[in-house]
Chain A
Amino acid sequence: MSMSQQVELAKQAGERTHHFHGGLRLRHHKKISCGDPVRQPPLPELLAVPLLQHVGDIAEPLVSVGDAVLKGQQIGQCQPCAAVHSPVSGIVVAIQERPMSHPSGQPGPCVLIKPDGTEQWAELDRFNDWLDASPDSLMAHMQRCGLAGLGGAVFPTHAKVRDGHNRRTHTLILNGVECEPYISCDEMLMREQPDKIILGARILRRALGAERVIIAIEDQMGAVQKALTSCAEFANSENISVIEVPTIYPEGGERQLVQSLTGLEVPLGGRPSDLGMVCQNVATAAAVAEAVTKGKPLIDRYVTVTGNGVSHPRNFRALFGTPVSHLVEQCGGYTDDVARLVIGGPMMGYPLSSDDAPVVKASNCILALTHKDIADPQPEMPCIRCGECARVCPAMLLPQQLQLFIRNELWDPVQTHGLSACIECGCCDYVCPSHIPLVEWFRFGKGELRKRTLESEAAELARKRFENREARLSRLKQERAEKMARRKQLLKDKAMQQDRIRASIERAEKKGRTKLPTQNSGAPDDT
């Protein structure tokens, strides 16, 4: 099927649900954190806002120690990625290395702000009527407001919208499929603020130039569909449909969701925009609505604090920079048998070494697990080639084969077997009877491939510079040689000239000597 045919087919997205390959049906564990309404925790004593919150480079701080900052004031800038803002009004007490909620567990530069409690907002610029705004100005505003995908990948929203806009997107998919167990922040958001999501959907649709919006939710979410549908009707906006998709992990993956809605696969190395579709998380849409209509930059998000390791699991609307320990305290603290803190869900999350780490744009869930929840590390056994991992892989890869190639560092077959298509969902890990940490290997392999590309780029650059230098040196040498030759020639010429002069002087003298007496005889003698 040609790409244009696929795009045509993709326009019928959502008419019937399809299936993606593999996946797992997991226990939900979501109810425990959905009981209470979302609450804003009291201000912590100190907020540590990391300057690295997206893909890309560390942002440059725009403030220095001792500065007073206002709530919503920009404190970090990073040109291609999104801006960082102060979540509170207060004083910058330090800019230093702190734990920062990153899979590496390593500290990074953070701006430490002591709140003054006045919650005074910086001057915000907003659109009085976004319906008149051009897509470009909306995108620029999204970048200024620091918007990034709140589903977990924190890809800068403006960049994704720009890409979708340039590639003629017809459908915007709002991803409300929160497929990982325990996490319930998107569900709570859809329950409590469906109006904002619909508004954000309309703004994003305008920025993208898309025709329709599909809000995808899980079929187990109950009241959410009604809330969203009635809001869409109330907004009197056409072409917004709420579609329930089956609850299978990892339904919420961008590629899997597109496949469920259209039956089409996003090509390897491509993006949904190849099919004319753009996925955004529902929380991103709500943040877009607040940014555009109120001018509010991205300074907080819904976070689920859950698991058997906290006394009273619930959802918070937490400011970025709030320490994890502060939120856990608001949940009534840890239970006695807490064993591990995880950022994200149990399938794709990463363990946190300290609860000093702050909430960042990427943290959707803080999961405290007990000894009972986590299995002891099992000894790894040899692969028995049962093929279970290939059966559950939603990307239709051969995990056992890939893992062997990575282990033996055979990078060419690793690439031809499609490692880059792996979404690190953890399904293969979950079913492996030999307890092989497959996803760990895939993450390592992806890192190695990235490193190798960077190294070969650096080598190419070094080669060019070396060659240019060699060329320059030989040119200089040649120029010097030429100069020397010219000078020698000149000297030679000079010598010859001198010779000639001397010769002519001699000639003249000779002539003079013969002529002198006659001259002298004619002239009066001075002496």
Chain B
Amino acid sequence: MLISVLVISVLGVAFGFGLGWAALRFRVESDPVVERIDDLLPQTQCGQCGFPGCRPYAEAISREEADINQCPPGGDAGIRALADLLGREPKPLNPENGEEKSKTVVLIDESRCIGCTLCIQACPVDAIVGAAKLMHTVIASECTGCDLCLPPCPVDCIDIVAAETRPPRWQRPRPQIILDGA
């Protein structure tokens, strides 16, 4: 009786130390769920979800402070992927956050730009280059289409344009199904 109690206690203490050491040695700095949620988000950094960027939104989802249907650029496919990851039911996009649109980029009308740098400060991905009192321009390949540069522009010189879809960026459409009698 005494031996078994002793053995179990010694084992318990030994494993306790082992686990304690492992917890320190293999400590994970950030929450891996946040990383995986963040990977599924489109990284537009537009803030339409109500959080200042995709990563804060991912953190909020993992803390269950935000729902999974608040990301319009991700759209239905994004919501489905999040639901799959978190084991929840997919739900339609929350209309309060906006609606799903096709990809756009912005273009600065260089003749109207006064070089105020307000858009440069607003751009979450540093896709606008320029300097004070000099013309600004958008690096189209880096622009995520978040439209955050539109409101601060005092002269309204930024336009939304559809992303390039002509060859060689052309995309084959989904085949049309021919129904009987059509």
A443 to B126, CA, bound (A): 35
Q: How long is the Cα–Cα vector from A455 to B43 in the complex, in angstroms?
A: 10
Is residue A134 contacting chain B, with contact meaning CB distance below 8 A? no
User: Which has the most chain B C-beta neighbours within 10 Å: A56, A443, A448, A463?
Assistant: A463
A52-B167, A104-B166 are contacts. A463–B54 as well, Cβ < 8 Å?
A: yes
Q: A463 vs B44: C-alpha distance in the bound complex, in angstroms? A: 8
Bound Cα distance A466, B126 (Å): 8
Determine which residue in A55, A102, A446 has the highest number of CB atoms from chain B within 10 A of its CB, and name it: A102
CB pair A451 B180 closer than 8 Å: no
What sequence of 0s and 1s flags, for each residue 369-395 of chain A, a beta carbon within 8 Å of any chain B beta carbon? 000000001111000000000000000
Chain B residues positioned under 8 Å from A440 (CB to CB): 172, 175
Any chain B CB within 8 A of the CB of A469?
A: yes
> How far is B35's CA from A467's CA once the two chains are assembled, in angstroms?
13
- Select from chain B the residue with minimum beta-carbon distance to A448: B171
* In the complex, B87 has a CB within 8 A of chain A: no
Q: Is B7 an interface residue (CB 8 A)?
A: no
Asked whether A444 lies within 8 Å of B167 as measured between CB atoms, the reply is: no
Are B142 and A462 touching (Cβ within 8 A)?
yes
Q: B127 and A465: CB pair below 8 A?
A: yes
Does B166 lie within 8 Å of A461, measured CB to CB?
no
Bound complex: CA of A58 vs CA of B164, how far in Å? 13
CB distance from B9 to the nearest CB of A (A): 49
Report if B90 contacts A (CB, 8 A). Answer: no
CB-defined contacts of B179 to chain A, threshold 8 Å = 379-380
Q: Which of A52, A108, A378, A459 has the most CB of B within 10 A?
A: A459
Q: Does A512 contact B (CB under 8 A)?
A: no
- Whether the Cβ atoms of B178 and A380 lie closer than 8 Å is yes
A430 touches B (CB below 8 Å): no
Residues from chain B with a CB closer than 8 A to the CB of A441 are: 175
A437 at the interface (CB under 8 A from B): yes
Centre residue among A446, A468, A470 by max chain B CB count within 10 A: A470
- Complex Cα spacing A385 to B51, Å: 49
CB within 8 Å: A-B pair count? 77
Residues from chain A with Cβ under 8 Å of B41 in the complex = 459
Chain B interface, >50% SS class:
loop
Interface size of A as a range: 35 or more
Interface residues on B, range: 20 to 34
The verdict on A66 contacting chain B, using a C-beta distance below 8 Å, is no
Q: How far is the CA of A36 from the CA of B77 in the complex (A)?
A: 57
- B170 at the A/B interface (Cβ < 8 Å)? yes
A474 interfacial contact with B, CB 8 Å: no
Q: What residue in chain B is nearest A55 (Cβ atoms)? A: B168
Task: Please give, as numbers and ranges, the residues of chain A lying within 8 Å of B177 by CB-CB distance.
Answer: 380
Give bound CA distance, A461 to B55, whole Å.
14
Q: How far is the CA of A56 from the CA of B167 in the complex (A)?
A: 10
A460, B175: Cβ atoms under 8 Å?
A: no
The digit string for B117-154, where 1 denotes a CB below 8 A from any CB of A, is: 00000001111000000000000001010000000000
List residues of B (28-63) whose CB comes within 8 Å of A's CBs. Answer: 38, 41-45, 53-55
- With contacts A104-B167, A444-B173 taken as known, whether A463 is within 8 angstroms of B142 at the C-beta atoms is no
A143–B53 Cα gap in the complex (Å)?
45
Bound Cα distance from A237 to B45, whole angstroms: 64
A233 interface hit (Cβ, 8 Å)? no
Is A444's CB under 8 angstroms from B174's CB?
A: yes
Q: Are A444 and B178 in contact (CB-based, < 8 A)?
A: no
The contact of B126 among A57, A458, A469, by CB within 8 Å, is A469
List of A residues within 8 angstroms of B175 by Cβ: 437, 440-441, 444
Which residues of A sit under 8 angstroms from B44, Cβ to Cβ?
462
* 16 examples of A-B residue contacts, CB within 8 angstroms: A52-B167, A57-B168, A102-B167, A104-B170, A106-B167, A106-B170, A108-B166, A380-B177, A440-B175, A448-B171, A459-B43, A460-B43, A462-B44, A465-B126, A465-B127, A469-B124
Known pairs A379-B179, A380-B178, A444-B172 / 9 extra A-B pairs, C-beta < 8 Å: A103-B172, A106-B170, A444-B173, A444-B175, A447-B172, A459-B42, A459-B43, A462-B45, A468-B126
CB within 8 Å of A: which residues of B? 38, 41-45, 53-55, 77, 124-127, 142, 144, 166-168, 170-175, 177-182
